[in-house]
Amino acid sequence: MPKADRSKLKVMVSSSVRHKEPMLDQIYGLLSGLGYRVWMSYRGTVPNIPGKSAFETCLVAVERCDIFLGIITPHYGSGHVAGQLGITHRELLKAIELGMPRFMLAHEQVVNARRLLMDLGYPDAAARAALKLRKGAVIIDDMRLIDMYEAATREDLPLENRTDNWVQQYRMPPEALEFAEEQFSRVEENRGYVAEWRARKVEA
């Protein structure tokens, strides 16, 4: 079995999986073809750490990767218990905490659900706290998807202080793939972003 090329940039792809397998397969193939090492739990390429839980292993992968690609779908995903955040949610928050280079996609149903709630007088997480989706909700299946979107767009900061807050809306998989191809085809440019980020970490 050939050894992994350690000079390749490592991309962590964070997404729920339900009904998204074909799109994730295409993203995996695209990024691999562009020369990245792709860590994707669905494909079994996230480095497994014996003695750690799946949650812990995924968070360590975020810490060890070079670039984060987050996809907020209409499904919150499995792997969470009542009162706790799901793994894709925690992966996103970890990437933001680390300030690492990241690219974000959000399905239009998540964006539209947030906009509708804002129009109805529920502008933020505190206002939405009293709301509860019915079982079998179709547009989005968990209110925390909106929390994820707002974390990615850095709604926690004043508008003038927000950076790394671009979240690309998509409707169909080809639109997500187009975004991924455009952002990740700039391999050397991305290598520079990673170098700058790591230099800032050392200085800090």
| Per-position DSSP letters for 4-22, written without gaps between them | P-TTSPEEEEEE--TT-HH
Q: In the chain, pLDDT over 90 holds for what percent of residues? A: 85
Cα–Cα dist 1/117, whole Å: 52
Average pLDDT over residues 59-81: 91
Lowest mean pLDDT among 25-34, 89-98, 101-110, 131-140: 131-140
Report how far Cα 184 is from the mean position of its chain's Cα atoms: 15
Contact of 183 with 105, CB cutoff 8 Å:
no
Confidence class of residue 1 from pLDDT cuts 50, 70 and 90? very low
pLDDT reported for residue 203: 79
Please state whether beta strands 167-170 and 67-72 pair in parallel, antiparallel, or not at all (unpaired): unpaired
pLDDT reported for residue 19: 86
Strands (E) in 54-166, as ranges, are: 67-72, 102-107
Confidence class of residue 189 from pLDDT cuts 50, 70 and 90? very high
Q: Name the phi and psi angles at 178, rounded to 5.
A: -60, -45
Cα–Cα dist 153/128, whole Å: 18
Average pLDDT over residues 22-34: 97
pTM of the full structure: 0.93
pLDDT reported for residue 77: 85
Mean pLDDT, the chain, whole residue set: 93
Give the chain's length: 204
Contact of 140 with 110, CB cutoff 8 Å:
yes
pLDDT reported for residue 18: 85
